[in-house]
A = this chain, B = another copy of it.
Amino acid sequence: MRIGELSRRTGVSVRSLRYYEEQQLMAPTRTAGGQREYSEAAVDRVILVQQLFAAGLHSVRIAEILPCMRAPEGGPNERATARLAQSLVAERERIDSTIADLLRSRALLDDIVSSAALADSSID
């Protein structure tokens, strides 16, 4: 499929899809005329990339991880090196502490919201 369809099917902008290629997160083939041609598997890959971006990973790290993912089509599926594994552990710790932060802030907002609800009975 071409880039427009992939964009439609994933909800990710065309601009971002081109960026993903630039960052080596995807490697679409090209038509004779130079247009990007994506496989079906690209849909899942894009969603996965978004997932990792959402977790605050940077594109460089994602590029390191991707070859280690369970490839749906039996791709190369490299093993994570010990070095990569170590940096993933660091990412995981970062994620954990981010979650802890979020939970604290969530509780904080809860306090405000509930005291507002007490004060203002117009909230149904």
Interface residues on A, range: 35 or more
Q: Of B51, B85, B91, B117, which is within 8 A of A116 by CB? A: B85
Q: Which residue of B has the minimal Cβ distance to A100?
A: B54
Q: Of B70, B91, B98, B106, which is within 8 A of A96 by CB? A: B106
Q: Are B88 and A98 in contact (CB under 8 A)?
A: no
Q: Which chain A residues in 94-120 approach chain B with CB under 8 Å?
A: 95-96, 98-99, 101-106, 108-113, 115-117, 119-120
If A65-B112, A112-B80 touch, whether A105 touches B95 (CB-CB below 8 Å) is yes
Q: Are B105 and A68 in contact (CB under 8 A)?
A: no
What's the number of copies of this chain in the assembled complex? Answer: 2
23 contacts between A and B (CB under 8 A): A51-B101, A51-B104, A51-B108, A52-B105, A54-B105, A55-B104, A69-B112, A80-B113, A82-B116, A85-B113, A85-B117, A85-B123, A88-B112, A88-B113, A89-B113, A91-B109, A92-B109, A92-B113, A95-B105, A95-B106, A95-B109, A99-B106, A102-B102
Chain A residues in the interface with B (C-beta under 8 A): 51-52, 54-57, 65, 68-70, 79-82, 84-85, 88-89, 91-92, 95-96, 98-99, 101-106, 108-113, 115-117, 119-120, 122-123
